[in-house]
Amino acid sequence: MEQRFSRESRCYKTARVFPTDVNNHNTLFGGKLMAYIDDIASIAATKHCRRSVVTASTDSVDFLQPIRPSDSVCLEAFVTWTGRSSIEVFVKVIKEDLLRGDRKIAATSFLTFVALDADRKPVQVPSVLPESEEEWKLFETAPYRAEMRKVRRDESKKFADFLTVKHPWD
């Protein structure tokens, strides 16, 4: 079984927060941050397996601190765990006040991707080798998150069966 270190998938993105990026509270649009998160997480997943990947789920996005136009936003992503064809990616979002230099965790997120072969079928991925304390903590707690994802997916499927797809005017 092929293995890769978490660090091999690690990637970073830093962006400035412009007036067009903020909402009526003068903080970064949540959707803008979520787009950044999905983008960098897909890069980390692809670097890990060196295959095409597709987002299977955004497991969580926890907004912890507002991000303002005086801040830059730095995202760090890396693979924390894998299943047979699934890849869990952790994204840490750090805001930095550009004038004072204060840095704080602004958000955290977990996403799951599936690696695909040339026929767009799920394919086996390398396992993860954590090294740092942070990587080990995320690796050791991943099976619990994987189980919670399975439960949530099963509940979502049941709920989707209940929902109507008719037009409101029918």
Give me the domain span that covers residue 86. Answer: 3-162
Q: Is residue 107 part of a domain?
A: yes
Q: Is residue 96 part of a domain?
A: yes
CATH number, domain at 96? 3.10.129.10
Q: Is residue 167 part of a domain?
A: no
Contact 20, 146 (CB under 8 A): no
Contact 73, 40 (CB under 8 A): no
What φ, ψ does residue 17 adopt, rounded to 5°? -100, 115
Q: Is residue 67 part of a domain?
A: yes
Q: pTM for this one?
A: 0.92
Question: Among all chains, which residue has been given the structure tokens 């400035």?
Answer: 16
In 3D space, the residue among 131, 36, 20 whose CA is nearest the CA of residue 75 turns out to be 36
Q: Is residue 169 part of a domain?
A: no
Per-residue pLDDT tens over the stretch 104-146: 999 999 999 999 999 999 999 999 999 999 999 999 999 999 9
Q: Is residue 170 part of a domain?
A: no
pLDDT at 170: 82
Q: How many domains does the chain have?
A: 1
Q: Which DSSP state fits 134?
A: H
Q: Give the mean pLDDT of 4-20.
A: 96
Per-residue pLDDT tens over the stretch 32-66: 999 999 999 999 999 999 999 999 999 999 999 99
Q: Is residue 73 part of a domain?
A: yes
